[in-house]
């Protein structure tokens, strides 16, 4: 059984200007020990899809009109707040993009680190303190005892992100949702952080959902990749398949338009146009206007899933790519 299964999830924001359809019916699943990469440009719904079912977004304006999110077979969407609270930050943990804003500046690292342990694992403060020190060691922070007593502003961005990871890991989660965990960091620090995530995953067998816009990061860490665009899943495939034999024109165009350091290019192939306005989505495929392969049917209806193989799904009316 899948650890986490998302079925036809929709997340809409009801604003004064109209309904912004941020997530528009997405489905995928996550197995234990697996790393699922979710890639997409800004506004593709990759973050909202996660935040919405964890009830981390204000509602209203958020509404989830349809869908199911099953954690070990149980629907998170219909869970009571208390039950979800016991799960969130415990068995399902999150790391956010901005380590500056996601730590409380008024509290020491230590008091923030022991909080999940005291609340979720019901440990005494003393035991929790010890566990937290160990967690800091695991993410490569030297002199953990000393680090526990400092405030977030005394740490650099990379160190803060390590603290965030340590905090997310103290309760030994089964699912770690990492939302652009390295976007605010420098490349050398990014390499360190990704390495830590990989090592810890090997030890604990936790599953990771990694949300990013960086195809390079996806290539290095994921087992399976979901490509999102304008609130839809366009393609899902094992990482090697996606990069080599993508069956979706958007994925292909995205891969081509990413500059790479191992290739010399005279001109980068571009995707013309811009991302559609999510409050004014038309019927049909949201990529229609920018697509090189578009057909009449694409404008009429969003394509049904096409199984390329048992693990590779594409949502496109076009079947044969050269």
Partner 1 sequence: MKPTPILKVQNLKVHYPVRSGFINFKPQSFLKAVDGVSFDLFPGEVLGLVGESGCGKSSLGKSLLRLQEPTAGQIELSGQDFLALKGEALRSRRPEIQMIFQDPYASLDPRMTIEATLREPLEAHGLWKSTQSQKTLNKILDRVGISSVALSKYPHEFSGGQRQRIAIARALILNPKIIVADEPVSSLDVSVQAQVLNLLKEIQKEFNLSMVFISHNLAVVKYIADRIAVMYLGKIVEITSKTELYSRPQHPYTQALISAVPIADPKVEKARKRIQLQGELPSPINPPKGCAFHTRCPIVKESCKAEAPKLKDFEKPSWQVSCFEVR
As a whole number of angstroms, the distance between CA 95 and CA 163 comes to 10
Q: How many residues sit in the footprint of partner 1 (CB under 8 A)?
A: 46
Q: To the nearest whole angstrom, how small is the minimum distance from the Cβ of residue 25 to partner 1?
A: 23
Largest CA distance in the chain: 66
Report the residue from 18, 32, 65, 269 that binds partner 1 according to the rule CB under 8 A: 269
The one-character DSSP state at 289 is G
Report the residue from 1, 16, 261, 304 that binds partner 1 according to the rule CB under 8 A: 261
Residue 254 engages partner 1 in binding (rule: CB under 8 A): yes
Nearer to partner 1, 81 or 266 (CB): 266
Residue 240 engages partner 1 in binding (rule: CB under 8 A): yes
Two structure tokens written together for 61: 């304006």
**Binding segment toward partner 1, per CB under 8 A, in 52-60, 86-94, 105-113, 153-161:** 153-161
As a whole number of angstroms, the distance between CA 237 and CA 223 comes to 9
Q: To the nearest whole angstrom, how small is the minimum distance from the Cβ of residue 117 to partner 1?
A: 27
Residue 47 engages partner 1 in binding (rule: CB under 8 A): no
Q: Which of 121, 125, 97, 302 is nearest to 210 (CA)?
A: 97
Give the 3-state secondary structure of residue 126: helix
As a whole number of angstroms, the distance between CA 186 and CA 183 comes to 8
**Binding segment toward partner 1, per CB under 8 A, in 6-14, 119-127, 238-246, 300-308:** 238-246
Residue 253 engages partner 1 in binding (rule: CB under 8 A): yes
Two structure tokens written together for 39: 């890639």
Q: How far is CA 110 from CA 106, 117, 160, in A?
A: 12, 11, 12
Q: To the nearest whole angstrom, how small is the minimum distance from the Cβ of residue 33 to partner 1?
A: 18
Residue 218 engages partner 1 in binding (rule: CB under 8 A): yes
Report the residue from 132, 217, 228, 308 that binds partner 1 according to the rule CB under 8 A: 217
Residue 153 engages partner 1 in binding (rule: CB under 8 A): no
Strands, E, within 59-213: which ranges? 62-63, 68-71, 74-75, 92-95, 175-179, 207-212
Q: To the nearest whole angstrom, how small is the minimum distance from the Cβ of residue 24 to partner 1?
A: 19
The one-character DSSP state at 147 is H
As a whole number of angstroms, the distance between CA 165 and CA 125 comes to 20
The number of beta carbons lying within 10 Å of the beta carbon of residue 159 is 20
Q: To the nearest whole angstrom, how small is the minimum distance from the Cβ of residue 139 to partner 1?
A: 14
Residue list 162-201, contact with partner 1 (CB under 8 A)? 186-192, 194-195
Report the residue from 16, 126, 153, 267 that binds partner 1 according to the rule CB under 8 A: 267
Residue 20 engages partner 1 in binding (rule: CB under 8 A): no
Residue 156 engages partner 1 in binding (rule: CB under 8 A): yes
Q: DSSP for 187-218?
A: HHHHHHHHHHHHHHHHHH--EEEEEES-HHHH
Give the 3-state secondary structure of residue 9: strand
Nearer to partner 1, 70 or 255 (CB): 255
Q: Please give the residue ranges that form the binding site for partner 1 (CB under 8 A).
A: 41-42, 156, 158-159, 186-192, 194-195, 213-220, 222, 239-240, 243-244, 253-255, 257-262, 264-265, 267-272, 274-275
């Amino acid at each position: 059984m899948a650890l986490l299964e998302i079925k036809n999830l929709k997340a809409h924001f009801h604003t004064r200007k109209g309904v912004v359809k941020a997530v528009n019916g997405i489905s995928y699943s996550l197995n234990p020990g697996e790393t699922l990469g979710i890639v997409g440009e800004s506004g593709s719904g990759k973050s909202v899809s996660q935040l919405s079912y964890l009830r981390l977004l204000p509602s209203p304006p958020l509404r989830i009109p349809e869908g199911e999110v099953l954690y070990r077979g149980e629907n998170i969407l219909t869970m009571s707040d208390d039950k979800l609270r016991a799960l969130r930050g415990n068995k399902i943990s999150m790391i956010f993009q901005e380590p500056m804003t996601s730590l409380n500046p008024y509290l020491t690292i230590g008091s923030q680190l022991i909080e999940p342990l005291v609340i979720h694992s019901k440990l005494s403060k003393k035991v929790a303190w010890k566990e937290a020190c160990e967690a800091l060691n695991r993410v490569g922070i030297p002199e953990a005892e000393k680090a526990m007593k400092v405030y977030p502003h005394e740490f650099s961005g990379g160190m803060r992100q390590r603290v965030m990871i340590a905090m997310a890991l103290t309760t030994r989660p089964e699912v770690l949702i990492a939302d652009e965990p390295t976007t605010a960091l420098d490349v050398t620090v990014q390499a360190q952080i990704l390495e830590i995530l990989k090592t810890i995953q090997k030890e604990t067998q936790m599953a990771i959902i990694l949300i990013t816009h960086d195809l390079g990061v996806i290539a290095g860490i994921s087992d399976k990749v979901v490509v999102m665009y304008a609130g839809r899943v366009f393609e899902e495939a094992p990482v090697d398949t996606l990069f080599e034999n993508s069956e979706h024109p958007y994925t292909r165009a995205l891969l081509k338009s990413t500059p790479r350091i191992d290739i010399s290019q005279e001109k980068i192939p571009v995707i013309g146009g811009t991302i559609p306005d999510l409050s004014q989505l038309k019927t049909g495929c949201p990529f229609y206007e920018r697509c090189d392969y578009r057909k009449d049917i694409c404008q009429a209806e969003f394509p049904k899933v096409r199984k390329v193989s048992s693990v590779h799904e594409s949502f496109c009316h076009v079947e044969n790519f050269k």
